[in-house]
Chains A and B, each alone.
Chain A
């Protein structure tokens, strides 16, 4: 069957990638899964937490796992440290005058890559942030008259410090919407933390020597396989219900959009595959909903932010959990 997912190969590839990352990042399996989900769903990911929790290391590790230093078939990895004085052209690139040819030529900026690490994205001005918008959504950059296509694989890993911190510009809702998944990175548990302290030299060394495990083709293949994950009618319904409930919930000012719903479905499929399944289950819905939806909603107050989405999810999970098996 054509539609059949080559599950074994897909799973081996994913497992290789996860194992590779875990040589550096300890105790973050869930976060790794989320990042891969965003990658497989052809989306982008936003990681938020206090400085020093390993966001950047995480991004670099992933990038290097697929972006081998040898450039042979590996992906092209760029990193931008966002600062308040960063300008859009620092990202996109600019026209510079070619002395030889006597004309302006376009000098591509760091956006023209496969994996982009946008570090501390909320420290840049809104102007720069919105410059990211187009390329994240459309996979293209328009500069004057000409439009430049980005690579087929374009994956942004953005990190940001909590909005409350000083020297940050909150991301506009439109841009937040472009990120498929936003995760709170969080601290590792006590035991893992201890093992990190005991072995930090080794870990740093691992980061230095991390090698490419997947080629570009393999990643594109995984992305194409993701589309074939089976999603049950009832799960689609559940997605619809959750999205609708975010709109009618009295404490949510701005609910999820239809695009969010589609993103949701894509993420569900990817997450199922990352978890080694060819079909989406309740587990996927339960685990991924906050990561996918939380940053898209505007709540009335802090209390609602803490409870609102959970209440919606509980309601839908209760329905699914007690639902009979349909043919």
Chain B
């Protein structure tokens, strides 16, 4: 049997390359995207992409022959059914069967979608429009799954689909109209595609311009780094996030994903004045950046929450505080509600690649004072601050593990557990507080965790014993003597539908990194009604016996652990992450600590007025002065001349030059000059009398340039664009605006084309061109109003128009034909007709067609399409 072909092989090849290939590429991208949000897909986007590709290619080739859709689709589904039944036979075991059938369903869905798409591309003219709408709808659903919506993500999500939609509608029509017998088909298509790309570029550009405000943040984001943010790609998750300037901060959310990337770069160095009761053994503490108190069950993400009750998070921005000036907040101490076994501890933090904006300190910090870095260390340490914390004696980086071999630590553990056993019950606490910190969702998944928690802790009486039981559970061994839980940076992802990742971790995989352990512990604790939260920051390793109290922090020390609340004792750190058996922590060479020995006698905060880089003189308007550690705010800011010949100039980002100081720059001037040593302030001194103690010019050793307002704004807008929580209304508006812009451009196209033709018809002077432009504009206008010429001859068409609109088109048409096809010159009367005809013609038509009708006809884009579509032979 000979089966006729619908398309020539040339057309099929064009369809495969110009329609199928971009569609497959987009499918890969979308599947990759979707895989990030749906666990059931098991992150096998690559294979799934090939399913799709197979479907569309087969369908295009198949339907280039004269097959009917309904019968062939029925056959296809019959095949599916048989394959499904066969699969059911050959698979062994319930799990296998379920797994295979889910995979098969995914395959079936993708292949069928691709098959229908292939059929549509091959046979149906208007399919591309439905297809585009379908893809956009899909994309909206996917976007709604996004956790942190940023403009960049939005663009990444919508731009490819939008460009594709433009492309596919255009190209499908182009291929439909291609005349494969003509010479130079390839050139024709290349030409048209180039034209399309130009047009698509223009449309996108105009969209970008319209929504410039929303996209600006991304443009700067893209402008800066290209490769650096790649850490986030490929399902990799990092405990820290990389900022635009290459510095790093802790992330505001920690999502559970398949793998954790770490590196060995030095992040910061800290001196912590925390010692055990003997007063000389350093007691290291984990450095906290932020707390995750909420778990979003929808996105499987731990979140920070500004509104947590009894907020004890002190999060100043050290780069905003002038050198030596301090910011403190005593409400956090009150909010810890922990009077027992607490003391004030100080820490000096020297930042290497930690972001200048970041504040990180152990336990409950309440004080932050930026301090300068000694000259010789300035190349390594960009900035530094001193922090004070309200720290519990019972807290320690030696939380639970490794007391073995160290009697002192072992004793300490015992003492601390004993104390905590004696902590009172939670009854007296604010119910709001308890409810918030013991919240966990109620469904089968979480009830399973509840059951496990009860099972593990059935012998434990007190909260701390329950905690120890949980710790022991994670450290336990299975029936073969192998560790039950393992540490892994690449734990993989759950393979069963709707299984949440924590359950997968707890009951199936039992491999994970700190976020998994912390998250699982959190729910085990909350299941038992113990208020708990996750702390994120850096774990502390005591490596240096040379410099007691100094700790070095590398990027792979970024960490998450849990904190338990004990009445009276407050939040206490516990770490349940099991040791990593495979990779030994490589010994990191600790450098010399950046000691700061000098005493600052004078610190002045203000703005620069004049800068003389040759004479090394700066005048500044002083707002406040710190003199011998006493604060003197200025009533009327005076101008002070500074001698900066020996001064070093710094910024948050490192060393700077004197010429970086401009008029109006916010600066802090520091003097260590001996001259001030004996001029101590009297209790009666005021700002004015302090100024008199300062010589003119004042000798200055250090100048720090504070960020200008503009830089701050830029940074804050950038930060907010990166980490602002999802604003669904805004997202909806942006989505609607993008789609609306697309629709407006699309529907105004007929009118814009008309404006162009109209202008050409009106303005051209040369009679030949004028006649042509008039005829063209007239034909377009009539076509758009629903009177296409189609198979009428010019004279028939003109007569019909005249009958309908009372115009005199026929006369013009005759002259036009004469001009076009004869050598006989036009008579003056005819020339006159060409000149005068057009305005009256359009006016006459407008008079007959009501405005409303004209508007509605001009919205009909198919009329336009029809006008520019070349008729086809078949």
Contacts and interface: CB of A to CB of B under 8 A. Distances in A.
Interface of A: 230, 232, 234-235, 245, 248-251, 277-283, 285-287, 310-315, 317-319, 321-325, 327
B871 A282 contact: no
28 contacts: A230-B823, A232-B821, A234-B821, A235-B821, A245-B873, A249-B873, A250-B873, A251-B874, A277-B822, A278-B824, A279-B818, A279-B821, A281-B794, A281-B821, A282-B820, A283-B793, A283-B795, A283-B796, A286-B793, A286-B796, A287-B793, A313-B791, A314-B871, A315-B871, A317-B793, A318-B870, A325-B769, A327-B768
Nearest to A288: B793
B873 A325 contact: no
Given A280-B821, A311-B872, A325-B819, 5 more contacts: A230-B821, A249-B874, A315-B872, A321-B789, A323-B820
B56 interface: no
Contacts of A287: 793
A312 B872 CA distance: 8
B825 to A, nearest CB: 12
A234 B874 CA distance: 24
Given A232-B821, A322-B776, A325-B820, A283 B794 contact: yes
The secondary-structure label for the interface of chain A is: helix
Contacts of B776: 322
Nearest to A248: B181
Interface string B816-855: 0111111110000000000000000000000000000000
Given A315-B871, A315-B873, A279 B823 contact: yes
A282 B795 CA distance: 9
A315 B870 contact: yes
A232 B870 contact: no
Nearest to B776: A322
Contacts of A317: 791, 793
A126 to B, nearest CB: 33
Contacts of B772: 324-325
B181 to A, nearest CB: 6
B794 A312 contact: no
B779 interface: yes
B791 A314 contact: yes
B757 to A, nearest CB: 12
A248 B717 CA distance: 65
A57 to B, nearest CB: 27
Instruction: Report the 10 A-B pairs with minimum CB-CB distance, sorted nearest first.
Output: A279-B822, A286-B793, A314-B871, A281-B817, A232-B821, A283-B793, A315-B871, A325-B768, A283-B795, A281-B821
A229 B638 CA distance: 101
Contacts of A277: 818, 822
B89 interface: no
Interface of B: 181, 768-769, 771-772, 776, 779, 789-796, 817-824, 870-874
B814 to A, nearest CB: 8
Contacts of A318: 870-871
Nearest to A312: B873
Given A283-B794, A286-B793, A230 B873 contact: no
Given A287-B793, A322-B776, A281 B871 contact: no
Nearest to B813: A283
B296 to A, nearest CB: 59
Contacts of B874: 249-251, 311
Nearest to A250: B874
Contacts of B818: 277, 279, 281
Nearest to A327: B768
Contacts of A248: 181, 873
Contacts of B817: 281-283
B344 to A, nearest CB: 87
A172 B871 CA distance: 32
B793 A282 contact: yes
Contacts of A232: 820-822
Nearest to A231: B821
A255 B776 CA distance: 33
A249 B874 CA distance: 8
A170 B772 CA distance: 47
A311 B871 contact: yes
A161 B771 CA distance: 46
A274 B790 CA distance: 25
Contacts of A310: 791
Contacts of A322: 776
A282 B776 CA distance: 15
A310 B791 CA distance: 8
A30 B768 CA distance: 31
Nearest to B823: A230
Contacts of A315: 870-873
Contacts of A325: 768-769, 771-772, 819-820
A249 B872 CA distance: 10
* Residue of B818, B824, B871, B872 most packed against chain A (CB within 10 A): B871
A106 B811 CA distance: 57
Contacts of B871: 311, 314-315, 318
Contacts of B181: 248
A286 B817 CA distance: 13
A323 B819 CA distance: 13
A249 B873 CA distance: 7
A311 B871 CA distance: 7
A281 B873 contact: no
A223 B253 CA distance: 93
Contacts of B820: 232, 281-282, 323, 325
Contacts of B779: 321
A260 to B, nearest CB: 18
A251 B4 CA distance: 12
A155 B414 CA distance: 128
A248 B772 CA distance: 31
Nearest to A286: B793
Contacts of A327: 768
A50 to B, nearest CB: 25
Contacts of B821: 230, 232, 234-235, 279-282
A251 B872 CA distance: 13
A31 B771 CA distance: 32
A230 B795 contact: no
A277 B814 CA distance: 10
* Residue of A279, A283, A315 most packed against chain B (CB within 10 A): A283
A259 B538 CA distance: 93
Nearest to B822: A279
A235 B824 CA distance: 16
Contact of A286 (B792, B823, B824): B792
A231 to B, nearest CB: 8
B819 to A, nearest CB: 6
Contacts of B771: 325
A106 B143 CA distance: 97
Nearest to B773: A324
Contacts of A249: 873-874
A313 B791 CA distance: 8
A250 B874 CA distance: 8
B858 to A, nearest CB: 20
Given A283-B794, A321-B789, A278 B872 contact: no
A73 to B, nearest CB: 33
A312 B768 CA distance: 28
A314 B790 contact: yes
Contact of B794 (A230, A251, A321): A321
A195 B402 CA distance: 119
Contacts of B873: 245, 248-250, 311-312, 315
Contacts of A278: 822, 824
A323 B772 CA distance: 9
A142 to B, nearest CB: 42
A250 B8 CA distance: 11
A234 B821 CA distance: 8
A310 B793 CA distance: 12
Contacts of A313: 791
A230 B823 CA distance: 8
Nearest to A233: B821
A305 B824 CA distance: 38
